[in-house]
Structure formats: structure tokens, C-alpha cells
Structure 1
Amino acid sequence: MIAARDNDRHFTPEEYFSWEEKQLEKHELIDGRVYAMSGGTQNHSAIAINFLLSIRSHLRGSNCNVFNSDLKVNILNTPNYTYPDVSVTCDNRDRENAIYITYPCLIVEVLSDSTEAYDRGKKFEKYRRNPNLIDYVLASSDEVAIDIYHKNDAGEWVILSYREGERVEFQSINLSLPIEQLYEEIIFERQP
């Protein structure tokens, strides 16, 4: 989640890495500018953990790794770095750097009111340039609802929408599970 631009200074990736390790909060680097990451709700955090646990369990023993929002993703061929809620890489090149990955096959963002338009629009526009990315997952934190932007065999992006009672298909990692597993123990606030 991005809150607001932190300052007007332009950073190179090297300056950003050095600067950020001294900060108390996480910051994304987009087009030379740093953006402070805002905190999330209990539902946001719990949904991200449900994704992480389900995917980690499925990938155990494989050459793939799943990461939480503490690990940066470098947007391929750019000086931009983001903190998705969950990322998965099966690419050995991502073992070369300890502080970020560059070749994720799956990225999960848990949506909030303040970031949904950005996550669906400009952020996806940046992510989809990566030829390794197959599934870009957007999970609602207000209802049982998941949209997956999936790159098919023809290289076209299609939207797969899942709701209550359906099985979610993560084709990038060959995982199918009931959507309720990803929303386990989530209590939604009643709308007025």
C-alpha cells in the first residue's frame, strides 16, 4: 500500500537502498521518488497471511520461494522497487540478491480503498512488463472476492474473477483451492 510521496528528492536505486535501511518505515521507489508504505487493517494482514500460508504449504519441497511484504520486487528493466503483499519466484536468478527479487511468477496485492485504483491500474501496468509474471492477484479486504490478471499461453492478459463457493486457480504455481481458505477467520464489517 502506498500512502504518499515522502519527499521531492530523486533517488538512484543505490541511494534508495542506503537511505531506506536507515528508515523506520518501508518505502517503495517509483520513477526516482520514494513513497512511504501505509499500515493495513487486521483483515488486510490476515488475508495476506492466509495467502502466504496456503502458497508456502503448496510449494514446500519445490524450487519456488514465497515471500511476504518485507521483500522488495524490482520491476524488471526499471529502477523501480515495490513491496507486494505476497510474491513467488521460481527463477534461480532471484537467489543472487538478498534484498529483492526481479522475476516473480505470482504477485498478490490485498486491496484497500486507498490503493485499489493504483493496484489495478498503474502498478499492474508496470508489473505486466515482466515476462516471468503469470498471475497478478488482487484480493478484496471488504468481501470474499479475488481477481487474477492471468497471462495466457498467447501472452494476453485475461481477468479471472472468483467469488464465494468457487475454487481459485493459480496457474503460475499449479495451485487450486477453495476461495474460503484464503478468507479463513476473516470477519467483514457490516456496511451501514
Structure 2
Amino acid sequence: MTNTAEQARIGIDDYLAGEETAPIKHEYVAGEVFAMAGAGEAHVTVAGNLFALLRNHVRGGPCRVYIADMKVRVEQADAFYYPDVFVTCDPADSREKRFKRNPTLVIEVLSDSTAAFDRGAKFAHYRQLDSLLEYVLIEPERPLVDIFRRNAEGGWVLHPVAEDGELVFAAVDFRCPLAAVYEDVALG
């Protein structure tokens, strides 16, 4: 008898080919594919604000900023994720058009359905990337930002941002008032 709860695994090539034409995005972990839910207004606004601020900051330099539709490959976890915003400064990433392998900074705007995964298993996967120096988690409807920064020993240290504080991404020498991240967001 077949167990209908079992899910067939998919290969990486099939996953990447499917993403080219899929009407919705999917993340991939060890052969399993997970549909991504849509985001609300606050989520999209916060991600857009960060993209605009970071894009302005890195313009003319070696780093590139991506938002929502570009994948990050975590080979050690056999995974592909779609971070809300990320920065890569590795020239090798410019040669691959479907995904990037070496992000320096990854930002996830949290939602009720993904917060536990973003704080847990996904962060555990991202920590395996040697290139990653900062991992940022942002609450979209209240001014709450946690920055996890890799220290010299390779450990991760939490740097929470005060509600009236300054957002600092040391990995890309960026800073701005936290209020700029939440511009045009109705805070709850």
C-alpha cells in the first residue's frame, strides 16, 4: 500500500527549471519544495525600503543588492531560499543569473507563518555560508530588528536595534535611522 503522505523528492535541475515558469515561488530543501505565501503591505514596504536604502549605498561599488525574486544557494544544506533582501559582494556571484552563492548580508522580514523557521532551521542553514557576516530579522509591523553578526571566532552575536536607534550593517558599512526602514508603514 502506498503512503499518500509521502512526498516525492525533486532534483535540483528540475526545481530550477520549474522555478523559471512557476506562477509562484518555491523554496527548496533537500529535495522538498515549499510554496511561498504572499506578503502583506507592511512586509513589502519594509523590504522595499531596505532595498532602496541599500541599493543607494552600494551603487558604483562591487556589491549588488537583491530583493525577493533572487535565490540564495546553500549547498551545505542542499537548499535554495528567497531572502527578502540580500547583498553579495563576491564577483563570482555576478556570473550566475539564477541564484547567488555568497551573500554577505541576508535580511528576512518576518511573518507569522515563517518566523519560527527563519529564526531556527533557515538561520542554521545560512550560518553554514562562509561568506555570510550578518543575518537580520525584522518585524514588519513594529520597530523590532535583530541583527546576528559573525564575530572573529566564527560565533554569532545578537545585536538588537533599539526602537529609536540606528540600523548598522557592519558587513557593508551601512547605517541609517531605524525610522527609515519603517517609512510609510502603519506601525501597530
Deviation, 1:22, is 2.5
Q: Whole-Å Cα distance in 2 between the matches of residues 132 and 181 of structure 1?
A: 27
Secondary structure of 1:21 counterpart: helix
Q: Whole-Å Cα distance in 2 between the matches of residues 39 and 186 of structure 1?
A: 17
Q: Whole-Å Cα distance in 2 between the matches of residues 27 and 96 of structure 1?
A: 23
Higher helix share: 2
Deviation, 1:78, is 4.1
Secondary structure of 1:154 counterpart: coil
Q: Whole-Å Cα distance in 1 between the matches of residues 102 and 165 of structure 2?
A: 29
Per-residue CA deviation, residues 100-151 of structure 1 (Å, 9 max, x unaligned), is: 0000000000001111111000000000011100010101012001001110
Structure 1 equivalent of residue 125 of structure 2: 126
Q: Whole-Å Cα distance in 2 between the matches of residues 76 and 63 of structure 1?
A: 23
Equivalent position amino acid for 2:24 in 1? E
Secondary structure of 1:34 counterpart: strand
* Unaligned stretches of 5+ residues in structure 1: 1-6
Structure 1 equivalent of residue 102 of structure 2: 103
1:69 aligns with 2:68: yes
Q: Whole-Å Cα distance in 1 between the matches of residues 38 and 103 of structure 2?
A: 24
Q: Whole-Å Cα distance in 2 between the matches of residues 154 and 79 of structure 1?
A: 25
Deviation, 1:163, is 2.6
Structure 2 equivalent of residue 4 of structure 1: none
Structure 1 equivalent of residue 3 of structure 2: none
Q: Whole-Å Cα distance in 2 between the matches of residues 20 and 58 of structure 1?
A: 30
Secondary structure of 2:172 counterpart: coil
Equivalent position amino acid for 1:65 in 2? R
Secondary structure of 2:171 counterpart: coil
The number of residues matched between the two structures is: 183
Equivalent position amino acid for 2:159 in 1? L
Runs of 4 or more, structure 1, over 3 Å off, are none
Q: Whole-Å Cα distance in 1 between the matches of residues 18 and 183 of structure 2?
A: 38
Per-residue CA deviation, residues 67-100 of structure 1 (Å, 9 max, x unaligned), is: 0111000014343101000010000110121010
Q: Whole-Å Cα distance in 2 between the matches of residues 148 and 76 of structure 1?
A: 23
Deviation, 1:14, is 0.5
Q: Whole-Å Cα distance in 1 between the matches of residues 13 and 63 of structure 2?
A: 27
Tell me the C-alpha RMSD between the 2 structures.
1.2
Structure 2 equivalent of residue 45 of structure 1: 44
Deviation, 1:9, is 2.0
Identical amino acids, percent of aligned pairs: 35
Equivalent position amino acid for 2:25 in 1? K
1:170 aligns with 2:165: no
Q: TM-score, with normalisation over the residues of structure 1?
A: 0.92
Confirm or deny: 8 A CA contact 1:28 1:35 kept in the other structure.
Answer: yes
Secondary structure of 1:45 counterpart: helix
Structure 2 equivalent of residue 86 of structure 1: 85
